[in-house]
Amino acid sequence: MKPFLPKRVFFEPKALDYSLGRRLYDFFRQKDIEARMTASHNRVTGIPGKTVREGYREAKETLVIGVRKSGSFATCKPSAHYQLPLATSCPGMCEYCYLATTLGKKPYLRVYVNIEEILDQAQAYINERAPEITVFEGSATSDPVPTEYLTGALKRTIEFFGRQELGRFRFVTKYSQVESLLNADHNGHTRFRFSLNAAAIIDRYEHRTASMAERVEAAAKVARAGYPLGFIVAPIFVYPGWEQDYQAMFSALDAQLPLDARKDVTFEFISHRFTTRAKANILEIFPQTTLPLNEQDRKFKFGQFGYGKYVYTAEVMQAVKTFMQRQVAAYFPEAKTEYFV
Ligand code: SF4
């Protein structure tokens, strides 16, 4: 995969007070990429697009470079205590993106130049909760890997947590550009997770992300670098031939992951589900989508805050759960399954 290069860049004026901001400004000027100023990284105007679809595509090629204001971090239950805001959005165009309903119609990418200040805030949270361990999630609002070659924020964060007795870090990616992270002093304090799916599903729905084979290869490199590893298998679909496709995914992992790296591996399984709002968004951006979004085929599950979602029926869920459990037992008997939903 080629590294992500935006079509246009916006800078908050204050970002240029930081060495990273100035370095990025020079970098984009050299590349002849249009750079403009924006008063706030939260309200960016001037991204083209006459329709929702065009606006979405243009936003995915727009990078905003800003300063993350100090303030509290959002909580991130149940997998972590806090979100660690390293970036927002990503260049991928997954039809079922989990951020689609939260980032609005123009999910432009954002990176922050004041990473040291963000980590100072993380330190304050760690100190506050001592002697308990505090866990931070680095991908609650983004995939932080595609912009890593520009900012180095992920490596700085991994090394920050490497030095923490009471702080732990986790993040997840659908990308494979992991080279710059392999020599980081992680000290086993960062769980490096990959989002995986059957190859056919990735090829069909996860546009502009790494293929299954690329992610598996990257996971093997990360495992050899000694990181605790994790896989989120999501969203899981049931269709003719799903068992063979998911089995091929496990066997690709089996073929590449070193044996000694399998002791500390976690799995998270999420079956496909959708809300009425998510379906409307998807149909607006991907009108030709082949995603299975037929309410009649699903069970309606009431949600906590009044909205509900369409999930697979109990029978299908049980079949998927049993299948995944068997795969994990066969290929990764020492792995921990964190949850299945
Ligand atoms: Fe969304 Fe992740 Fe796909 Fe990016 S890679 S579009 S954040 S699901």
pLDDT in tens, 183-221: 999 999 999 999 999 999 999 999 999 999 999 999 999
CA-closest candidate to residue 153, choices 114, 179, 125: 114
Question: What residue owns the CA closest to ligand 1's atom 5?
Answer: 92
Cα 87 to ligand 1 centroid, rounded to whole Å: 12
Please name every residue paired with 167 in a beta bridge, in sequence order, or none if there are none: 134
What ipTM is given for this predicted complex?
0.99
Does 3.80.30.30 match the CATH number of domain 8-340? yes
d(CA 40, CA 108): 13
Structure tokens at 231: 């896989």
Ligand 1 pocket member 91 (CB < 6 A): no
Return the pLDDT at 226: 97
pLDDT in the model for residue 78: 85
pLDDT at res. 274:
95
Using the mean position of ligand 1's atoms as its centre, give its distance from the Cα of residue 17 in Å. Answer: 30
Confidence (pLDDT) at 28: 97
Q: What is the mean pLDDT of each run of 10 residues along the chain (341 residues)?
A: 95 97 97 94 90 96 94 91 96 93 91 97 97 98 97 98 98 98 98 98 98 98 98 98 98 95 95 94 95 97 84 98 98 96 95
Q: How far apart, in whole angstroms, are the C-alpha atoms of residue 191 and residue 274? A: 28
Burial profile 281-294: b = 16 or more Cβ within 10 angstroms, e = fewer? bbeebbeeeebebe
**pTM recorded for the entire structure:** 0.97
Q: Look at residues 230, 235, 208 and name the one whose alpha carbon lies nearest to residue 298.
A: 235
Distant-in-sequence, close-in-space partners of 214: CB < 8 Å, separation ≥ 6: 1, 176
Q: Strand 8-11's sheet: what is its strand order?
A: 34-37, 8-11, 62-66, 109-112, 87-88
**Cα 143 to ligand 1 centroid, rounded to whole Å:** 6
Which of 56, 93, 99, 103 is the best mutation target for the ligand 1 pocket, counting ligand atoms within 8 Å of the beta carbon and taking the most? 99
pLDDT at residue 250, as a whole number: 98
